[in-house]
Amino acid sequence: MATMVEAQPERATPPTYNEITRDIAATLGNPTRGYYVLLGIVLTVLAIGVGALLYQVRFGLGKAGYTPPVMWGVYITTFVFWVGIAHCGTLVSAILYLFRSGWRTAVYRTAEAMTVFAVMTAGLFPLIHIGRIWYFYWLIPYPNQRQLWVNFKSPLIWDVFAVTTYLIVSTTFLIVGLIPDIASVRDLATGWRKKLYSITALGWRGTDQQWRHYTKAYLYLAALATPLVLSVHSVVSWDFAMSIVPGWHATIFAPYFVAGAIYSGLAMVITLLVPLRKVFKMERYITEDHFENLAKLIMLTGMIIAYAYVTEYFMAWYTGNPFERASFWNRAFGDYWWATWTMIICNAFLPFFLFFRKVRRSIPALFVLTLFVNLGMWFERFVIIVVSLSFEYEPYAMGHYTPSWVEWSILAGSFAWFFMWFLLFAKNFPTVSITEVKEILPMPRKEKAHV
Amino acid sequence: MSEKSQGLIAAYRHVDKAAEAIRTLKEMGYKDFTVFTPAPVHEIADAVDHKVSPVRLWTLIGGLTGVTSGFGMAIWMSYDYPIVVGGKPLGSWIPYTVIGFELTILIGAMATVTGLLVHIILTRKRAAHDPRFTNDHIGIFVDCPLERRGAVENLLRTSGADEVRFED
């Protein structure tokens, strides 16, 4: 039987290196019954999603609720949603690393793992959306018998490059960060876990030469990931902004999408951290201060989002373009008014509660608030994509789209797919970085340091 | 990496004592030693005083390869099968910047990781290890044959090591 050490009881003093290793390694032991029940629920929902997808593959895209002119629906909405969720991980792990913010160390691993799983989820949706999944490789520029190349002027191809790069680089970043931690738990583990960690630690022993190269490599990876995170959602926004659909064709889209992405990602990190902290008894490492810092970032990005909403409406009015005006009037008061107001209330009004310190430091309040932010951000993409497409230029070409049960099932399945990976990760690899939590605490000294 | 060699292994709880021992070892002319730390520690890195890691060169070369191949691929492929899209020139460098940019990051990051692996392999030394060194102790392993053991052991013991032992 593979075992790990027992958790240490909570104390007020800063933890020692030994306590850090043991407390975090203790999260990896044998799962409880609750874990298997949760995994079972997740796998059931995933099976429903996969079933719906197979049904759609068998009978074609007609099983999705697409109604001309709305040919981008729940799948593209969900794609943008998951790419957005992914953004917070790289923000916390790379951007805050470059800013040298110490508090990131306790939360960055969860955020980074979330990033990788969110991109893995997002990446499925363009393939589901193309219908004939087996032709997805046409998106890749490869020498073929028709001597055709992809169209590099198309934002959809930019997307392929951006999302693929993001998946590869964020996965690399996660793995590189994990290696010293795996070595720490390797040296404590027994049974099959010892074997697993011996292989995945890639021979890490923490020698002076290893750290010498590692710290530099990590810095450069962070420096590369920082512009990447800002570019990916900009490129996703250009899928829309490069076309002439009213409600899409705006220069504000790139910063607006990046802020929205980080906003939704931060919300998802809190949604995941609250139960994780409780179950893994990580109260000593992930404190209210961490939640408050995340909440402040949510506040900042939430204000940017609120500002972008106002700007969008202002520009629609100020440009005097009748199509833009009509499109935005339709958003607020047309068929989909409920979606628009869900988005505005959840994203632009609820974050104002974060101005109260009590709310920022109340974990139940944050948990509820972030659930609403996640809901609101999904609806934001739904409004931008579906509502804009349903109400373009010609009244006779307008239409109404209602998602089908196939789309809802695949959407639910995507959440299950995401949570499945997260659950498997959380029980097998450290969700709080052992090495980085140690790094911000000074090692004991015999004599006082000469400062 | 797991092969062991003959030498002395010392475990330190205190970072200043370990740094002092490293400096003394260097003063005595020892080069063949390995220091283990559970996390990157500046004081130890200063005492060991390595040159800056050449991994950064890999990042630079990878990034430059990426930007060149990104633009190169998009431009060459546009001319190889010329289709005018949106009335724009075939070699439109502005939209191709996205491809150039993404490949800079992708190949830059891949080169960084390759450089990391290559340099770790190139600079590895035979050294005995102890599980405490990934937990809460700093370890120093000095590669030395049995006959020269005395002087080194004396140094390590007087420098404040919690434990010194000889590994065969």
Q: Which DSSP string corresponds to A189-230?
A: --HHHHHHHHHHTTT---BHHHHHHHHHHHHHHHHHHHHHHH
Q: A216 vs A102, which has greater pLDDT? A: A216
State whether B131 and A207 contact (CB < 8 Å): no
Partner-chain residue, chosen from A151, A207, A444, that has the shortest CB–CB distance to B127: A207
pLDDT at A12: 59
**B interface mutation test: which of A211, A234, A450 has the most B CBs within 10 A?**
A211
- Min Cα–Cα distance to chain A from B118, Å: 10
- Closest partner residue to A169 (CB to CB) among B92, B109, B136 is B109
First to last CA, chain A: 49
Q: Of A266, A220, A262, A187, which Cα lies nearest the Cα of A430?
A: A187
Quick one: pLDDT at residue A241? Answer: 93
Most confident among A13-22, A181-190, A264-273 (mean pLDDT)? A264-273
pLDDT value for A19: 82
Asked if residue B68 lies in contact with residue A133, where contact means CB atoms within 8 angstroms, the answer is: no
B-chain CB neighbours of A450 within 8 Å are none
The predicted structure's pLDDT at residue A129: 94
For residue A409, is pLDDT > 50? yes
pLDDT of residue B1: 41
Interface test with B, best of A4, A93, A147, A220 (most B CBs within 10 A): A220
Q: Which of B15, B98, B129 to mutate to test the interface with A (most CBs of A within 10 A)?
A: B98
Least confident segment among A22-26, A182-186, A249-253, A363-367: A22-26
- Asked if the Cβ–Cβ distance from B77 to A141 is below 8 Å, we say yes
A276: pLDDT strictly greater than 50: yes
Confidence grade of residue A259 (pLDDT, cut at 50, 70, 90): very high
| pLDDT of A99 strictly over 90 | no
Give how far A80 is from chain B: nearest CA, Å: 18
pLDDT confidence bin for B127, thresholds 50/70/90: confident
Interface mutation target, options B4, B51, B120, chain A, most CBs of A under 10 Å: B120
Residue A70: helix, strand or coil by DSSP? strand
pLDDT of amino acid A4? 55
Residues contacting A253, CB < 8 A, separation 6+: A237, A238, A240, A241
The answer to whether the CB atoms of A206 and B81 lie below 8 A apart is: no
CA distance B136 to chain A (A): 5
Chain A nearest C-alpha distance from B48 (Å): 8
Q: What amino acid is encoded at B79 in this protein?
A: Y
Q: Looking at the predicted structure, is the pLDDT value of residue A250 above 70?
A: yes
Once rounded to an integer, what is the mean pLDDT over residues B35-56?
Answer: 88
Smallest Cβ–Cβ distance between B136 and the set A17, A221, A235 belongs to: A17
pLDDT confidence of residue B2 = 43
Interface of B with A in 30-69 (CB under 8 A): 34-41, 44-45, 48, 50, 52-53, 55-56, 59, 63
CA distance B25 to chain A (A): 15
SS3 A85: helix
Res. B86 pLDDT band, cuts 50 70 90 = confident
Q: pLDDT over 70 for what percent of chain A?
A: 96
Collect all residues of chain B within an 8 Å Cβ-Cβ radius of residue A168: 106, 109-110
Tokens 């003394």 locate to: B24
Q: Please state, rounded to an integer, the average pLDDT across all residues of chain A.
A: 89
Average pLDDT over residues B39-50: 86
> Backbone phi, then psi, for A39, in 5-degree steps?
-65, -40
Asked if A308 and A343 touch (Cβ cutoff 8 Å), the reply is no
According to the model, what pLDDT value does residue A280 have? 84
- Kindly state the average pLDDT of the residues A164-172: 94
Across the interface, whether the CB atoms of B16 and A214 are under 8 A apart is answered no
Residues in chain A with CB shorter than 8 Å from the CB of B78 are 149, 152
Label residue A450 by pLDDT band (50, 70, 90): low
pLDDT band (50, 70, 90) for residue A122: very high
Taking residues A164-168, what's their average pLDDT?
A: 94
ipTM over 0.85: yes
Q: What pLDDT shows up at residue A166?
A: 94
- Identify all chain A residues contacting B13, using CB atoms and an 8 Å cutoff: 444
- State CA A364 to chain mean position distance: 21
Q: Predicted confidence band at A106 (pLDDT cuts at 50, 70, 90)?
A: confident
Distance from CA of A17 to the nearest CA of B (A): 5
By C-alpha distance, the chain A residue nearest B110 is A169
> Which one of A149, A164, A213 has the shortest CB-CB distance to B80?
A149
Tokens matching residue A137: 């490789």
- Is the preceding omega at residue A69 within 30 degrees of 0, hence cis? yes
Indicate the residue of B1, B96, B134 with minimum beta-carbon distance to A203.
B1
Interchain CB contact of B114 with A (< 8 Å): no
Q: Averaged over A18-42, what is the pLDDT?
A: 86
Three-state SS letters, chain B: CCCCCCEEEEEECCHHHHHHHHHHHHHCCCCCEEEECCCCCHHHHHHHCCCCCCHHHHHHHHHHHHHHHHHHHHHHHHHHCCCCCCCCCCCCHHHHHHHHHHHHHHHHHHHHHHHHHHHHHHCCCCCCCCHHHHCCCEEEEEECCHHHHHHHHHHHHHCCCCEEEEEC
Distance CA A340, CA A176 (A): 41
CA dihedral A313, A314, A317, A319 (to 10 degrees): -120
Tokens representing A127?
Answer: 């393939």
Q: Is the pLDDT of residue B3 over 60?
A: no
